[in-house]
Amino acid sequence: MSSFRTRLQDDGVRRPSRGSPGRSAHGSSRRARAALPGIGAAVVVLAVGLSGCAGARIGDTNAAAGGGGGAGAASGECGTLKLAMNDWVGYTADAAVLTYVARTAMGCTVQQLPMKEQIAWQGFGTGQVHVIVENWGHDDLKAKYIDQQKTAVSAGPTGNIGTIGWWVPPWLAKAHPDVLQWKNLNKYATQFATSESGGKGQLLDGDPSYVTNDEALVKNLNLNFKVVYAGSETALITSFRAAEQQKKWVIGYFYSPQWFLSEVPMQKVELPPYTPGCDADASKIACDYPRYDLDKIVAAKFAKDGGPAYQLVKNFQWTNDDQNLVAKYITADKMTPDAAAKKWVEANKVRANSWLAGIGGAKPF
Amino acid sequence: MSTAAVASVPTWRRPGRLVASLAVLVVWSLLYLVLRGRDTLPLGETETTPLHQSFNHLSDSIASNRNSSPLFVYFFNYLQIWMTQFVTFVQSLISQPGFGRPAPLIGWLGVLALGGFLAWLLAGWRSAVLAVLGFAFIGWQGLWTEAMDTLALTLAAVLIAVVIGIPIGIWIGLSRKAARVITPILDFMQIMPTFVYLAPLTLLFLIGPASSTIAVLIYSIPPVIRITGHAIRSVPESTTEASDSLGATRWQTLTQVMLPMAKRTIVMGINQTTMAALSMVTIAALISAPGLGQTVLQALTTLDVGTAFNGGLAIVIMAIVLDRTTTAAGEGTERTFEHGLPPRLRWGVAGLGAIVTAVLVWESATFWWANTFPTGHSIGPSIVSGVASASTWIQDTFSGVTNVLKNLISGGLLDPLQTLLTESPFWLVIIALTALAAILGGRWAALSTVVCLLIVVGLNLWQNSMETLAATLIATVLTMVFAIVIGVAMGRSRRVDRIVRPTLDAGQVMPAFVYLVPFLVLFGASRFTAIVSAMVYAVPPAAKVIADGIRGVSESTVEAATSAGASTWQIIHQVQLPMASRALALATNQGLIYVLAMVVVGGMVGAGGLGYQVVNGFVQDRFIGKGLAAGLAIVLLGLMLDRISQAVASRVDPSGAR
């Protein structure tokens, strides 16, 4: 820092006509021109002098590198795992634990690539993405990339069960328990009305990433509601949070597992039960959403090569409670995903070790 | 009918125009009452048409041609490789490990020294101090690496934009024909929402630096091209003729006469391009571009307003540093290093600065302490928690008032206009809007209107387009109300200007994602939230244009009015605003375009319309085609509104003569 100040001070030297502190400090000569070389020398000496007292040199000590990507490359065997990072917290929890295990127990280099689902699926074909660690249905993408282009394959379920449906804030479920039956919704339609719903009740739909049948549902169940597209998960969660705080009426499309449910335990509205095939014709749907067995999708070539990283991804499995716990570490406790993963793994060594079974070179926890 | 009115209107005098416009609106409303609900071309939000599906196949065909088509093998793939290498090179200079080292080549001390030194050379010591303090503050926020990633991407994109853009700009400056072909392409590049081409880009150029840079480039290159063209055209003909008559070749005239004269304006173009590039970094983060955009987006997944703000603040600071430095460099108004020094000393001082900088850069390349920004006393956590509690307080305190405001504007202004646009038969809307365009803007404006609207009909997105148009118009009106108030205050007082301007800059550069959460709490997921977000982005440029216009009114006129006993209100209302009417019209044009740029963000906060369709197309494979169509519809609405408002602007003359 001291060399800095010195440099900035030579601004004062620029105008020889004025008595500047810089000049007077070195004021051996009346003319700035004469002072200049002297100051220059002083500055250079000072700056170079700094290097004398300076500590670790870059490249000298490996220990100083810390935290970088370089560490894993040394072990070589596992290679690089390119992990797509879709942008919801549950996904982050899965990915963080997988990353932590791959790095610490297997010495893999893990590249976390933040991107939307659709882009990640595209990336399988070009070899830029190896793994999507939590996939919600996406039958259209499966048909396109698994069946037609054959660039991706499923690596089995994550063990997480996804539920999609209509939810209301807890205060409302408590004050009017019958709102949890779809048949009673029309009774409350006017309460749910907003500036956006044109006199009808508002059904708030959200993140376009998720498949929605809500327009068909509203029509086929003869509900006096209008689907309003909030357009993002941020908008949904913010609306729900505000509704609970201010005791406002809101009903919206949501899903579990989701970190927000541990902050505000939203209640699910019962729709006509799902039966296989009841959603075959999109325009005639009048039943609840199916249960989603969330699964892992990997690049076809990555699976075929069958390296240790693929083995780990294939073995990886846990429960909704596990995911919610790690998600809570990240959101409520403000831990970094890496620290959250470390905490969970250390408390669940047996489970983590079961994923490592049969992988050569892996060091169990 | 209203078509009959069109033919006779353009000859009317100005007060007549207002009457004629009102007449069109009245006739339209009456016809709406009769014809309501007919031919409204509805399409469900999750329905697609054959046209949209055929657009889908377009993107599929890219994927299947990746490694066979000669266009890929010989062009796109090489472009991708070259681009990746270039960006990676810039990154390994300042942000990422590279050149076989575990750290970037130039560490924080070196970047501060280099930044300060360059700003000093090009723009003077004030800029140098600002640059050093600004970047040091970003480091203090705990965001050094992220900020350098963002800076690397921005610099890479701006360098490429300058290398490609200035020659094209010179070309369109010299050739009217070239200008006529290229200008619409530039309009297209600026108005087309990035979300539309983000996914296809990753198919063409893979996920990574190449795609991010090209995405940034598409949005940010138009200003440097436009402004360079404008600069070349502005060189007086007499000057070039004089040069020609002295026997100079065309090349000599260009390089020795025109370019030096246009230099200052061209630098302004580079400034605009830099700002545009910086405003794209958050969106580029969606396709895994590293940097501050990631900080903001990741914070958003947990609704962490504080962290998002911290990241956004770093972007704002970087923007202000880059803006002030390039502006000062362009204007040459500040004292650069050579001012006030005898020639022999200049080189001595510059050389001294260079030596010091080189030493500091060397230090930062060699030692860890000068390379990795010290994390000990970061101010980041305090900013994060401070903003979080401030935002909670605002939400808790004002959400009652804001709800009333939302319902008032939505019910009183937005709903009637939207109903008129969406519930009238489409042909009636086209006729009425064309009539209005003819009255207000003249023949060419009317022609653009009818062509644009017919293509919108062809895109099968009529209803969504009209919803977006309604919200855009209301947002622009509200934007102008605020812009006039702020702009007049700034134009009348230098001090107000100095205080307000950084706030305006922040509004323009702060990623919208940062303030979406508090706005959502205040106004709910609604069209009004979208309108308010658009205003944050659009008021600054409009207010700046108006402030310029007010300042341009000659002092003697104002003084004359003052001595004639006019009150302040009378001076503003009857002297300054009418004389700045040209600026007002231009500001409206800017306001419209900026509001339109926020349509997609609006789609993410409950505004529906075309914005939602674009977002939907970005995240769902089935809707890529519909998203593309929605993007095109936004471009068409943009072209239409731009042509009308430009025509109006060119008609407005301060003397009122024409």
Q: Which range of residues forms the domain containing residue A37?
A: 2-53
Name which of A136-150, B52-66, B426-440 the model is least confident about. B52-66
- Please tell me the distance from the alpha carbon of residue A179 to that of residue A186, in angstroms, as a whole number: 9
Query: Nearest Cα to B154, choosing from B329, B274, B291, B312?
Result: B274
- In this predicted structure, what is the pLDDT of residue B241? 87
Q: How far, rounded to the nearest angstrom, does the alpha carbon of residue B457 sit from its chain's CA centroid?
A: 27
Nearest residue of B to residue A41, measured between CA atoms? B352
- In this predicted structure, what is the pLDDT of residue B33? 92
- In this predicted structure, what is the pLDDT of residue B215? 94
Query: Nearest Cα to B641, choosing from B424, B493, B479, B403?
Result: B479
- In this predicted structure, what is the pLDDT of residue B262? 87
Q: B38 vs B531, which has greater pLDDT?
A: B531
Q: A243 vs B553, which has greater pLDDT?
A: A243
Query: What's the gap in Å between the CA of B364 and the closest CA on chain A?
Result: 9
Q: Which residues contact B480 (CB under 8 A, 6 or more apart)?
A: B542, B584, B587, B588, B591
DSSP, residue by residue, B10-60: GGS-HHHHHHHHHHHHHHHHHHHHHHTTSS-----TT---HHHHHHHHHHH
Report yes or no on A63 lying in a domain: no
Nearest to B367 among A55, A92, A238 (CB): A55
- In this predicted structure, what is the pLDDT of residue B370? 87
Report yes or no on A44 lying in a domain: yes
Average pLDDT over every residue of B479-490 = 95
The reply to whether A176 and A277 lie within a common domain is yes
Average pLDDT, chain A: 82
Nearest residue of B to residue A122, measured between CA atoms? B203
Query: What's the gap in Å between the CA of A234 and the closest CA on chain B?
Result: 7
The rounded percent of chain B whose pLDDT value lies above 70 is 95
Best mutation target among B361, B521, B526 (most A Cβ atoms within 10 Å) is B526
pLDDT band at B651 (very low <50, low <70, confident <90, very high): confident
- In this predicted structure, what is the pLDDT of residue A156? 94
- In this predicted structure, what is the pLDDT of residue A171? 96
B284-304, pLDDT tens digit by residue? Answer: 998 888 999 999 998 888 888
Instruction: Say whether the ipTM exceeds 0.85.
Output: no
- Please tell me the distance from the alpha carbon of residue B198 to that of residue B208, in angstroms, as a whole number: 12
Q: Are A362 and A104 in contact (CB under 8 A)?
A: no
B547-581, pLDDT tens digit by residue? Answer: 988 888 888 888 888 888 888 888 888 888 888 88
Four-residue CA torsion sign, B110, B115, B117, B118: positive
Query: What's the gap in Å between the CA of A6 and the closest CA on chain B?
Result: 10
Report yes or no on A59 lying in a domain: no
Under an 8 A CB cutoff, do A330 and B302 touch?
yes
The reply to whether A35 and A114 lie within a common domain is no
Under an 8 A CB cutoff, do A235 and B516 touch?
yes
- In this predicted structure, what is the pLDDT of residue B658? 33
A11-68, pLDDT tens digit by residue? Answer: 333 333 333 333 333 433 344 444 555 555 555 555 555 554 557 777 664 443 333 3
Query: What's the gap in Å between the CA of B522 and the closest CA on chain A?
Result: 9
- In this predicted structure, what is the pLDDT of residue B77? 85
- In this predicted structure, what is the pLDDT of residue A23? 36
Report yes or no on A67 lying in a domain: no
Q: For residue B100, count CB atoms less than 10 angstroms from its CB and return exposed for 0-12, middle for 13-18, buried for 19 or more.
A: exposed
CB < 8 Å to A233, chain B: 301
3-class state of residue A292 by DSSP? strand
- In this predicted structure, what is the pLDDT of residue A3? 36
Q: Considering just the CA atoms, what is the radius of gyration of chain B in Å?
A: 26
The reply to whether A332 and A277 lie within a common domain is yes
Helix (H) or strand (E) holding A293: strand A292-299
- In this predicted structure, what is the pLDDT of residue B527? 94
Average pLDDT, chain B: 88
CB < 8 Å to B365, chain A: 58
Query: Nearest Cα to B321, choosing from B537, B118, B163?
Result: B118
Under an 8 A CB cutoff, do A4 and B112 touch?
yes
- Please tell me the distance from the alpha carbon of residue B94 to that of residue A63, in angstroms, as a whole number: 21
- In this predicted structure, what is the pLDDT of residue A191? 93
Average pLDDT over every residue of B349-366 = 89
B164-194, pLDDT tens digit by residue? Answer: 999 999 999 999 999 999 999 998 998 999 9
The reply to whether A211 and A274 lie within a common domain is yes
Instruction: For chain B, say whether A236 makes contact (Cβ under 8 Å).
Output: yes
CB < 8 Å to A115, chain B: 207, 286-288
The reply to whether A84 and A167 lie within a common domain is yes
Q: Which residues contact A163 (CB under 8 A, 6 or more apart)?
A: A255, A256, A268, A289, A291, A292
Using the predicted structure, report yes or no on whether residue B65 has a pLDDT greater than 60. Answer: yes
Average pLDDT over every residue of A121-134 = 92
- Return contacts of B89-95, CB within 8 angstroms, 24+ apart: B90/B152, B90/B155, B90/B156, B91/B149, B91/B152, B91/B153, B91/B209, B93/B152, B94/B148, B94/B151, B94/B152, B95/B145, B95/B148, B95/B149, B95/B151, B95/B152, B95/B290
The reply to whether A173 and A282 lie within a common domain is yes
The reply to whether A46 and A81 lie within a common domain is no
DSSP, residue by residue, B435-467: HHHHHHH-HHHHHHHHHHHHHHHHTT-HHHHHH
The reply to whether A45 and A189 lie within a common domain is no
The reply to whether A144 and A102 lie within a common domain is yes
The reply to whether A7 and A124 lie within a common domain is no
For chain A, the first-to-last Cα distance in angstroms comes to: 44
Under an 8 A CB cutoff, do A47 and B359 touch?
yes
CB < 8 Å to B366, chain A: 51, 54, 57-58
Query: Could you tell me the CATH number of the domain that includes residue A86?
Result: 3.40.190.10
- In this predicted structure, what is the pLDDT of residue B293? 92
pLDDT band at A210 (very low <50, low <70, confident <90, very high): confident
3-class state of residue A294 by DSSP? strand
- In this predicted structure, what is the pLDDT of residue A38? 56
CB < 8 Å to B369, chain A: 54-56
Under an 8 A CB cutoff, do B301 and A57 touch?
no
- In this predicted structure, what is the pLDDT of residue B521? 87
The reply to whether A44 and A191 lie within a common domain is no
The rounded percent of chain A whose pLDDT value lies above 70 is 80
Using the predicted structure, report yes or no on whether residue B446 has a pLDDT greater than 70. Answer: yes
Report yes or no on A64 lying in a domain: no
CB < 8 Å to A128, chain B: 206-208
Using the predicted structure, report yes or no on whether residue A183 has a pLDDT greater than 90. Answer: yes
Average pLDDT over every residue of B65-91 = 85
Per-residue tokens: B490: 């700034």
Under an 8 A CB cutoff, do A196 and B344 touch?
no
Per-residue tokens: A268: 């699910």
B232-269, pLDDT tens digit by residue? Answer: 988 888 888 888 888 888 888 888 888 888 888 898 88
Under an 8 A CB cutoff, do A331 and B411 touch?
no
- In this predicted structure, what is the pLDDT of residue A316? 95
Q: B293 vs B620, which has greater pLDDT?
A: B293
- In this predicted structure, what is the pLDDT of residue B332? 64
The reply to whether A80 and A161 lie within a common domain is yes
Report yes or no on A94 lying in a domain: yes
A 328-347 residues inside an 8 A Cβ radius of B: 330-331
Tell me the pTM.
0.86
CB < 8 Å to A212, chain B: 46
Report yes or no on A66 lying in a domain: no
Nearest to A195 among B45, B407, B520 (CB): B407
Look at chain A and report how many structural domains it folds into.
Answer: 2
Q: How many CB pairs under 8 A join A and B?
A: 243
Using the predicted structure, report yes or no on whether residue B9 has a pLDDT greater than 50. Answer: no
Report yes or no on A87 lying in a domain: yes
Query: What's the gap in Å between the CA of B204 and the closest CA on chain A?
Result: 10
A157-169, pLDDT tens digit by residue? Answer: 999 999 999 999 9
